Amino acid sequence: MQLTDLGWTPERDRELAALAADEVVPARLSLEHNHVYRVLTESGELLAETAGRIKHFAGARSELPAVGDWVAVRPNQAGRAVIRAILPRRTWFSRKAAGRETEEQVIAANIDTVLIVFGLDTHVKPRAIERYLALARRAGVRPVVVLNKADLAEDVAADVTDATVVAGDAPVHAVSAKDEGRIAPLLPYLVPGQTVAFLGPSGVGKSSLVNQLMGDAVLATGPVRERDNRGRHTSVHRQLLLRPSGGLIIDTPGMRELQLWDVNESLDETFGDVLELAPACRFRDCQHESEPGCAIKAAVEAGTLAAERYESYLQLRAEHASVEKARDERSAIDAKRQARLGSKAYKSMQKLRGR
C-alpha cells in the first residue's frame, strides 16, 4: 500500500525527519486492545507495542497512542514493531473518560469528516444530535448527520427537517444500509487519503453502513431489541479500515456515556441561533437563566425559540462547567502531589549531603 492512501502528506515527512530517530518508519495506528496495537505501514500490517519511555512519560491517557494516530515505529525481524513516537495530531475526538475518572479519553485521531449516525426506526432526537455536533466541532472536524434506516421511517421528510433545524451548516442525509443505492450520498466523503469516522449510539446501524461502504462484511452486526429499539455494541474496538476503492473509515463502538470534554467554543457554534440573541440582553454578563431582561428567555416565552433547544443549551453548558471544575480540582491535586514528591526528593538529597 502507498502511504498517501493512508493519508500521509509532505508535512508528515518533515515531522518524521524532525524526530532524528534511526531505523524508524511511518505507520498509521489501526487498532488498539489492552495496549497492544496494529499499525499499517507501507510494507503491510504489524503488531506493535509502545516504547517504555512513552508509557513512562505519558502524563495522561490522552498522550498514549489512539486509533488514527500517525506514529514512528521501529520494526524487528519477528514482524512486530515498537512505537517510538506519536506524530502531532491534526484533529482528534475526545470525551470525558467513562465513570468517575476526570480524564480526557481520545476516541480517534486525524479525522477529516465525521458521520454522526442515528437510526430512523425511532423518531429523530435533536438533543442527541446537538451533543455529537458539539463533540465534532470541538475537534475541528467537518460534521455530517446521517439518518440511517430510512426504510423504517414513518416520515423521512419530517425527520430530515427536524435534524436540519439543529444541524446548522452540517449536511443531513437519509440513507439505508440495506440498500447499496441509498448510501450514495455518503460516497463523496470517501476519497483516497481522507479519513471518515462513524460516531453514534449503539443499534443505529454504523457497522452495517461500514460493511456496505467497504463492499464486504468486515464488521459484525447484531439485532436491535424490539422493546426499546436499542442495540448491542457489535463493534467492540475502535478500528481504522482502508476502503478498497479509496478512503479510510474509523468505526467506533456505540457510546452509552458521552460526556463532553472542553467544548465551550463548539457549544457557541452548535447553538449559534441561541447565542445570536445574547447581545440584546440587559446585562453583558447575562447567564440566560434567572436574570431580568434576558433576550434569550424572552424569545422562549414568545415562542420564537424552542424551549427544548434552550434547555439543551443550558444542560450542555452546565455539563461542560462541571467537567471544567473537576479538571481544575484534578490539576490542583496533581500539583500538590508533585510538590510533595519534590519536597521528599529535596529532603533525601539534603540527608545524603549531610553524611
Q: What is the mean pLDDT of residues 272-294?
A: 88
Q: What is the mean pLDDT of residues 128-150?
A: 89
Report the alpha-carbon angle 122-127-132, nearest 5: 100
Which pLDDT score is estimated for 235? 45
Q: What is the mean pLDDT of residues 264-269?
A: 60
Lowest mean pLDDT among 14-28, 250-264, 298-312: 250-264
- 355 versus 43: which is more confidently predicted? 43
User: Does the pLDDT value for residue 328 go beyond 80?
Assistant: no
39 and 79 belong to one structural domain: yes
Are 194 and 113 a contacting pair, CB within 8 Å? yes
User: Does the pLDDT value for residue 257 go beyond 50?
Assistant: no
162 and 207 belong to one structural domain: yes
User: What percentage of the chain exceeds 70 in pLDDT?
Assistant: 75
Task: Give a yes or no: residue 266 inside a domain.
Answer: no
Tens digits of residue pLDDT in 23-47: 899 999 999 888 889 999 999 999 9
Task: Give a yes or no: residue 259 inside a domain.
Answer: no
Task: Give a yes or no: residue 261 inside a domain.
Answer: no
User: What percentage of the chain exceeds 90 in pLDDT?
Assistant: 45
Q: Pick from 86, 114, 143: which residue ends a domain?
A: 86
Output the nine-digit C-alpha cell for 267: 457549544
What distances in angstroms separate CA 54 from CA 111, 197, 308, one per listed residue?
A: 23, 26, 45
114 and 64 belong to one structural domain: no
226 and 343 belong to one structural domain: no
Are 40 and 28 a contacting pair, CB within 8 Å? yes
Confidence of residue 332 (pLDDT cuts 50, 70, 90): low
Q: What is the mean pLDDT of residues 284-308?
A: 89
Name the residue among 141, 135, 108, 111 with its Cα closest to residue 261: 135
Tens digits of residue pLDDT in 160-171: 999 999 998 999
Which pLDDT score is estimated for 110? 96
Tens digits of residue pLDDT in 223-235: 554 444 544 444 4
Three-state secondary structure call for residue 352: helix
Task: Give a yes or no: residue 262 inside a domain.
Answer: no
Q: Measure the CA–CA gap between 237 and 133, rounded to whole angstroms.
A: 22
Q: Measure the CA–CA gap between 171 and 161, rounded to whole angstroms.
A: 11
137 and 231 belong to one structural domain: yes
235 and 131 belong to one structural domain: yes
Q: Pick from 202, 220, 251: which residue ends a domain?
A: 251
Task: Give a yes or no: residue 265 inside a domain.
Answer: no
Which pLDDT score is estimated for 256? 43
227 and 125 belong to one structural domain: yes
47 and 185 belong to one structural domain: no
Tens digits of residue pLDDT in 62-90: 788 999 999 999 998 787 999 999 999 99
Are 194 and 7 a contacting pair, CB within 8 Å? yes
Amino acid of residue 115: L
Report the alpha-carbon angle 199-204-209, nearest 5: 75
Q: Measure the CA–CA gap between 38 and 28, rounded to whole angstroms.
A: 9
User: Distance of alpha carbon 238 from its chain centroid, rounded?
Assistant: 11
- 302 versus 355: which is more confidently predicted? 302
165 and 281 belong to one structural domain: no
Confidence of residue 353 (pLDDT cuts 50, 70, 90): low
Task: Give a yes or no: residue 298 inside a domain.
Answer: yes
- 211 versus 334: which is more confidently predicted? 211
Q: Pick from 54, 86, 118: which residue ends a domain?
A: 86
166 and 277 belong to one structural domain: no
CATH value at residue 316: 1.10.40.50
User: Does the pLDDT value for residue 277 go beyond 50?
Assistant: yes
DSSP string of 199-220, one letter each residue: E--TTSSHHHHHHHHHTS--S-
Up-side HSE of residue 253: CA atoms within 13 Å toward CB? 13
The strand ranges marked E within the chain are 25-33, 36-41, 44-50, 70-75, 80-86, 92-96, 104-109, 113-119, 142-148, 172-174, 195-199, 239-242, 248-251
211 and 116 belong to one structural domain: yes
- The dihedral through the CA atoms of 4, 7, 12, 16 has a sign that is negative
Task: Give a yes or no: residue 9 inside a domain.
Answer: yes
Which of 73-82, 147-156, 214-223: highest mean pLDDT?
A: 147-156
- 280 versus 127: which is more confidently predicted? 280
Can you give the residue range of the structural domain that contains 193? Answer: 92-251
Pairing state between β 248-251 and 25-33: unpaired
* pTM of the complete model beyond 0.75: no
230 and 309 belong to one structural domain: no
DSSP string of 276-328, one letter each residue: TTGGGSSSTT--SSS-TT-HHHHHHHHTSS-HHHHHHHHHHHHHHHHHHHHHH
Which pLDDT score is estimated for 231? 45
